[in-house]
Amino acid sequence: MPTTDELITQRAPEIARAIQAAASGAPTEADFRRPVERLLDDFATAVGVPLHPHHEYTLATGRADTVYNRLVVEYKRPGSLGETLSHRNNLAAVEQVKGYLEDVEREQRIEKARLVGVITDGRRMIYCRHVAGRWRIEPPVTVDVSSVTRLLTLLVRLQAGAAMVPANLIEDFGSQTLTAQRATRALYTALQTCQDPLVRALFTQWQTFFGEVTGYEESAARLRSKAGFKSFARGMGLKAEEVDPPRLFFAVHTCFALLIKFIAAHRLALPGQRGSVL
């Protein structure tokens, strides 16, 4: 089975030709952008890389055409970019993308040094990065196999490291996700059959503490008959009529408590973060 790099090498020539063709037949930026976005989406699917693109993503300084996690792609009307960075349209496009990268840094909490911006009109590409505290704007390059290979490589590699912001965490780990449902169901099932004295003692302690705070014990019987609780239990892959509410809530609480600890450990392990992971 080909590796991702091999697939990039194989597909780059045809995608380069397709981008050139899209530019030659498109009178407007939108007419050019739509087929190229489909090309990139189809390529990512073919190599097994999940994309979560934000099309026409509204930021503080404007609306970025497409944000693929750490890659910002800005499309321009075919033929509008010049051959040198000093071209008026190029200068304006670069300032626009620099603003988008700074906005993404603020909103997504990803350092702009980890972001890349690319501007293309289907004939040329301009790459923008922030390196060692200063902007590095590369001269325009022709849309060809080499430049498209780089674009595809960045598209794949910059999907890693999604920002730890509420929207992304809910999308990846919220109660509606398969990950959360499987983890909760596994914890609940294990608790039902576990005979370990320590585990049972921890559950009893949790039940006592949270029962006092929330009144779980008094409301457990009524919860079983509520449509919302039944729907939630079924969503976790459990039989609603047989579920013990306190044990289910303990499993949910434990699942998300572990997630929070993993996130904290990850943040503390990043370069420049103080403290230690306990």
Q: Which residues contact 102 (CB under 8 A, 6 or more apart)?
A: 61, 112
| Domain endpoint, select from 161, 191, 210 | 161
Residues forming a β-bridge with 129: 136
Instruction: Say yes or no to pLDDT of 216 above 60.
Output: no
Interval 51-85: pLDDT, tens: 878 887 777 777 888 888 889 999 999 999 999 99
pLDDT of 157: 86
Q: Are residues 139 and 260 in the same domain?
A: no
Count CB-CB contacts under 10 A for residue 198.
Answer: 8
Q: Are residues 31 and 138 in the same domain?
A: yes
pLDDT of 133: 87
Q: Are residues 71 and 203 in the same domain?
A: no
Q: What number is the average pLDDT over the span 243-264?
A: 84
Count of domains forming the chain? 2
Residue 177 lies in a domain: yes
Interval 115-147: pLDDT, tens: 999 999 999 999 999 988 899 999 999 999 999
Residue 181 belongs to domain spanning: 171-269
Mean pLDDT rounded to a whole number for the chain: 84
pLDDT of 270: 47
Interval 87-115: pLDDT, tens: 999 999 999 999 999 998 888 878 888 89
| Domain endpoint, select from 120, 139, 161 | 161
Q: Full-prediction pTM beyond 0.85?
A: no
Distance CA 115, CA 236 (A): 37
Q: Are residues 111 and 80 in the same domain?
A: yes
Q: Are residues 141 and 209 in the same domain?
A: no
Q: What number is the average pLDDT over the span 259-269?
A: 74
Provide the residue count of the chain: 278
Q: Smallest Cα–Cα separation from 117: which of 28, 125, 109?
A: 125
State the helix-helix crossing angle for 145-157 and 4-24, rounded to 10 degrees. 120
Q: Are residues 176 and 85 in the same domain?
A: no
**Higher per-residue pLDDT: 97 or 195:** 97
Q: Smallest Cα–Cα separation from 183: which of 260, 264, 253, 262?
A: 253
Residue 193 lies in a domain: yes
pLDDT of 94: 97
Q: Are residues 157 and 186 in the same domain?
A: no
| Domain endpoint, select from 161, 187, 212 | 161
Q: Would you place residue 269 in the very low, low, confident or very high pLDDT band (cuts 50, 70, 90)?
A: low
- Out of 29-33, 37-41, 215-219, least confident range: 215-219
CB 28 within 8 A of CB 131: no
Q: What number is the average pLDDT over the span 168-174?
A: 68
**Higher per-residue pLDDT: 207 or 275:** 207
Instruction: Say yes or no to pLDDT of 275 above 50.
Output: no
Instruction: Say yes or no to pLDDT of 217 above 50.
Output: yes
Q: Are residues 230 and 200 in the same domain?
A: yes
Q: Smallest Cα–Cα separation from 76: which of 87, 57, 86, 90?
A: 90
Backbone angles phi, psi at 55, to 5 degrees: -85, 140
The rounded percent of the chain whose pLDDT value lies above 90 is 38
Distance CA 9, CA 18 (A): 15
Q: Are residues 188 and 156 in the same domain?
A: no
pLDDT of 192: 84
Instruction: Say yes or no to pLDDT of 224 above 60.
Output: yes
Of 48-52, 147-151, 273-277, the range with the highest mean pLDDT is 147-151
Residue 166 lies in a domain: no
Per DSSP bridges, beta strands 134-137 and 71-75 are unpaired
